[in-house]
Amino acid sequence: MYRLGHQGAALVVYAPLGLALLLLGRPTLAIVGGAGSVALASLPDVDQRLPGVAHRGVTHTLGFAVAVGGALGVLGWLLGRDAGVGTPVELAAVGFAVGTTAVVSHLLADAITPMGITPFWPVSDRHYTLGVCRADNTLANYALLGLGIALTVAVLAVAPR
């Protein structure tokens, strides 16, 4: 998928976490987490700008998702000591969840394309694809974005004020 499709997919996958944070009375964390998810939505495609790294290779794996989540978890822990927004444990958990789910949302969106992904590499070379649409399909990209926006609006509508 392209950037807008990945951003929509990130909103879709983030929606349950955002709702949980809102229900727990943590609106600032919910907003920052949502923005972080959208910002990281295309991170796995950094492989297109790295020499010697195959597209939809290592950056399109669950291992990469956990690594990104771990890095954001550490950042959350460090920021939590001084930010005043939450405890280090809260910010670490949200950071890990946001980083991991943002990359997983990217993998899910790419799995619907014919090129697909190999998410369990290096443990398994099994390739996954649904072959629903090409990555450059404008309608599919906007549909994912629209779905993400609609779910975000729904979460905001049901969340307590």
The tens digit of pLDDT for each residue in 70-88 reads: 999 999 999 887 767 778 9
Which residue matches tokens 């950071």?
95
User: How do the domains of the chain map onto residue ranges?
Assistant: 3-24+37-44+56-158
Three-state secondary structure along 14-59? Answer: HHHHHHHHHHCCCHHHHHHHHHHHHHHCCHHHHHHHCCCCCCCCHH
Give the model's pLDDT for residue 161.
79
Residues 12-67: tens digit of each pLDDT: 999 999 999 999 999 999 999 999 999 999 999 999 999 999 999 999 999 999 99
CA distances from 82 to 37, 62, 73, 92 (A): 22, 31, 15, 13
By percentage, how much of the chain surpasses pLDDT 90?
93
Which residue matches tokens 């990130």?
10
Contact 156, 17 (CB under 8 A): no
Contact 143, 150 (CB under 8 A): no
Give the model's pLDDT for residue 85.
74
- CA count, 13 A, side-chain hemisphere, 48: 5
Burial group, residue 8, by CB count within 10 angstroms (0-12, 13-18, 19+): buried
Residues 81-123: tens digit of each pLDDT: 776 777 899 999 999 999 999 999 999 999 999 999 999 999 9
Can you tell me the distance from the alpha carbon of 29 to that of 88, in angstroms, rounded to the nearest whole number?
12
The pTM for the full model equals 0.94
Can you tell me the distance from the alpha carbon of 155 to that of 54, in angstroms, rounded to the nearest whole number?
37
